[in-house]
């Protein structure tokens, strides 16, 4: 991956001007060029350097930022549009360079960006009653990005950290939350309806914000929220082979077919929920690929000589005389084998999810939300815990089934209809094509029992397989007259027309949300 990226990184920096400017525009166009591109490329270069240790990169970033500072300070350019809305993205690179050189102009650049940037606290009233109108301050990807703004900026600005992200998160989730930890946004904030979508770019950016929030604060809530997104929202919107993806995913998604008329989405097109190469717009095609690698990079973090296992996914860490290997099938199974070796002593900590029950470490019961070990030579840690499935209340008197970080849905069988076509002079042929997912099984159910039985299966090469789910839950349901949303043939009603059963009880299997590409996730309990 590093080698593949280097080809493009080298091409980009080969066009850098002598004064440091790196954006692809003519010199006379700089005033009208949206310098979000500066914030984006310097962030990209920083992450690339952290993986590759390509020694020419810090100098490139330094010269880009120095030129940016001089142009902003002189008034030659100002933040507007995306640069104004995403000013905090530049702090990934600013912090990186400041740690290396400590030069005061970087502090001044940080102040300019914040002064010229959008203050999202002033936009809060707009989040409580979303409108069918495109705005930067309700744009869902901006919402996911901005949560990290205080965490990444407070140190260099010498400001007290107030956990403003939690206050904003609380409001966003109260008025726009989904069962998998997202905020609805198709493409701007869309309320609490289970038939409104969320853009895939927002999944990737919200995950990255949570990774950085945990890195800066050490607050376990951000790591737990990160798990919820990574194990549900991300795989749900990708096909098993990852050749296709959706622009928008829906909580209750009974079909992915083009709308012949007005889309259900607030500001997206009629094909935004199709699985394809670039449905609606190409940004998610470019962006979703960062989500899994950055998640993997966040499995381990450090605080001086203390190594922290933030998310217990299968991984190996080799760094500075330390070796840690995690063998697990989490989140499908809750057992973990850690092999730890040290050439010099260090402390190893493991974050334990809040929902873990009956935690055992090397066979002994432990009550803790974090484990800590002083490693001097070699140590093997065998850990396991239990998780109890449960119903979680949702708006409109609906319910979702959860088991730890996994959300479960009623899966809907489907048939695929492939579309090969030409667009902008380019042939879109398999595998570069689009698909409609057409429902082929019932979906109009309500829960009618309280028992939830977990069945753990073999984890295949595709962990979130739509055909062989690694874990299922058996529960009891009855059919109801749910109905369709007024004006639509392929969208279920926001809330059921009736909750009265029209069938006998039957047992069904619930799939993980990430495995159920067509699904019903928010269901009522029957009136009986």
pLDDT at 513 over 70: yes
Question: What does the alpha-carbon distance between residue 392 and residue 400 come to, in Å, rounded to a whole number?
Answer: 5
Question: What are the tens digits of pLDDT across the range 121-156?
Answer: 999 999 999 999 999 999 999 999 999 999 999 999
What domain range is 499 assigned to?
A: 390-520
pLDDT at 449 over 90: no
Dihedral sign computed on CA atoms, order 230, 233, 235, 237: negative
CB 295 within 8 A of CB 348: no
48 part of a folded domain: yes
pLDDT of residue 1: 87
Model confidence at 528, in pLDDT bands (50, 70, 90)? low
* Over residues 155-161, mean pLDDT: 98
* Over residues 358-384, mean pLDDT: 96
CA atoms within 13 A on the CB side of 251: 30
Question: What are the tens digits of pLDDT across the range 298-346?
Answer: 999 999 999 999 999 999 999 999 999 999 999 999 999 999 999 999 9
Start-to-end C-alpha separation, the chain: 55
- Of 118, 151, 172, the last residue of a domain is 118
383 part of a folded domain: no
466 part of a folded domain: yes
Question: What are the tens digits of pLDDT across the range 1-24?
Answer: 899 999 999 999 999 999 999 999
Question: What does the alpha-carbon distance between residue 528 and residue 526 come to, in Å, rounded to a whole number?
Answer: 5
Ramachandran quadrant class, 280 (left: phi over 0; alpha: psi -120 to 50; beta: rest): left
- Omega before 431 cis (within 30°)? yes
Neighbours of 232 (CB within 10 A): 30
* Over residues 453-467, mean pLDDT: 97
- Of 118, 150, 184, the last residue of a domain is 118
* Over residues 78-101, mean pLDDT: 98
149 part of a folded domain: no
Question: What does the alpha-carbon distance between residue 218 and residue 161 come to, in Å, rounded to a whole number?
Answer: 13
pLDDT of residue 292: 96
Mean of the per-residue pLDDT values of the chain:
97
Q: What tokens does 473 get?
A: 């839950």
The angle, 0 to 180 degrees and rounded to 10, between the axes of the packed helices 104-116 and 57-74 is 60
User: 144 — phi, psi (to 5°)?
Assistant: -65, -40
Question: What is the number of domains present in the chain?
Answer: 2
pLDDT at 424 over 70: yes
User: 142 — phi, psi (to 5°)?
Assistant: -60, -35
441 part of a folded domain: yes
CA atoms within 13 A on the CB side of 366: 19
Question: What does the alpha-carbon distance between residue 15 and residue 23 come to, in Å, rounded to a whole number?
Answer: 8
32 part of a folded domain: yes
CB 174 within 8 A of CB 192: no
pLDDT of residue 396: 98
488 part of a folded domain: yes
474 burial class (0-12, 13-18, 19+ CB within 10 angstroms)? Answer: middle
525 part of a folded domain: no
- Of 51, 84, 118, the last residue of a domain is 118
């Amino acid at each position: 991956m590093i080698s593949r990226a280097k080809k493009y990184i080298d091409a980009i920096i080969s066009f850098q001007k002598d004064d440091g400017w790196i954006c692809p525009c003519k010199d006379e166009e700089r005033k009208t060029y949206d310098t979000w591109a500066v914030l984006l490329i310097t962030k990209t270069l920083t992450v690339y350097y952290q993986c590759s240790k390509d020694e020419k990169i810090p100098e490139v970033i330094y010269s880009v930022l120095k030129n940016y500072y001089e142009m902003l300070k002189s008034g030659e350019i100002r933040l507007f549009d995306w640069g104004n809305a995403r000013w905090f993205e530049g702090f990934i690179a600013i912090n990186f360079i400041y740690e290396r050189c400590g030069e005061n102009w970087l502090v001044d650049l940080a102040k300019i960006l914040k002064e010229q940037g959008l203050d999202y606290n002033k936009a809060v009233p707009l989040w409580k009653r979303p409108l069918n109108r495109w705005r930067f301050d309700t744009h869902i990807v901006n919402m996911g990005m901005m949560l990290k703004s205080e965490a990444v900026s407070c140190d260099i600005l010498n400001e007290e950290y107030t956990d403003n992200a939690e206050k904003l998160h609380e409001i966003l989730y109260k008025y726009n939350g989904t069962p998998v930890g997202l905020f609805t946004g198709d493409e701007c904030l869309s309320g609490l309806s289970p038939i409104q979508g969320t853009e895939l770019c927002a999944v990737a950016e919200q995950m990255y914000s949570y990774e950085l929030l945990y890195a800066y604060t050490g607050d376990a809530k951000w790591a737990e929220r990160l798990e919820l997104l990574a194990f549900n929202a991300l795989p749900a919107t990708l096909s098993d082979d990852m050749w296709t993806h959706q622009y928008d995913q829906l909580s209750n998604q009974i079909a992915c077919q083009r709308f012949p008329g007005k889309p259900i989405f607030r500001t997206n097109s009629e094909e935004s929920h199709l699985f394809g190469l670039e449905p609606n717009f190409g940004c998610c095609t470019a962006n979703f690929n960062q989500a899994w690698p950055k998640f993997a990079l966040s499995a381990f973090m450090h605080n001086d000589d203390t190594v922290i296992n933030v998310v217990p996914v299968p991984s190996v860490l080799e760094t500075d005389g330390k070796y840690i290997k995690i063998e697990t099938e989490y989140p499908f199974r809750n057992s973990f084998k850690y092999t730890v070796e040290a050439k010099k002593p260090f402390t190893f900590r493991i974050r334990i999810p809040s929902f873990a029950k009956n935690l055992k470490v090397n066979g002994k019961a432990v009550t803790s939300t974090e484990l800590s070990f002083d490693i001097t030579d070699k140590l093997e840690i065998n850990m396991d815990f239990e998780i109890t499935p449960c119903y979680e209340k949702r708006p409109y008197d609906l319910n979702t089934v959860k088991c730890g970080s996994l959300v479960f849905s009623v899966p809907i069988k489907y048939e695929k209809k492939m579309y090969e076509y030409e667009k902008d002079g380019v042939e879109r042929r398999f595998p570069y094509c689009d698909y409609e997912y057409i429902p082929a099984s019932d979906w109009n159910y309500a829960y009618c029992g309280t028992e939830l039985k977990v069945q753990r299966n073999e984890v295949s090469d595709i962990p979130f397989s739509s055909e062989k789910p690694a874990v299922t839950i058996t529960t009891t349901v009855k059919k109801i007259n749910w109905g369709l949303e007024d004006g639509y043939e392929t969208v279920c009603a926001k809330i059921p027309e009736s909750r009265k059963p029209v069938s006998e009880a039957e047992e069904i299997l619930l799939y993980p949300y990430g495995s159920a590409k067509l699904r019903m996730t928010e269901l009522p309990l029957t009136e009986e």
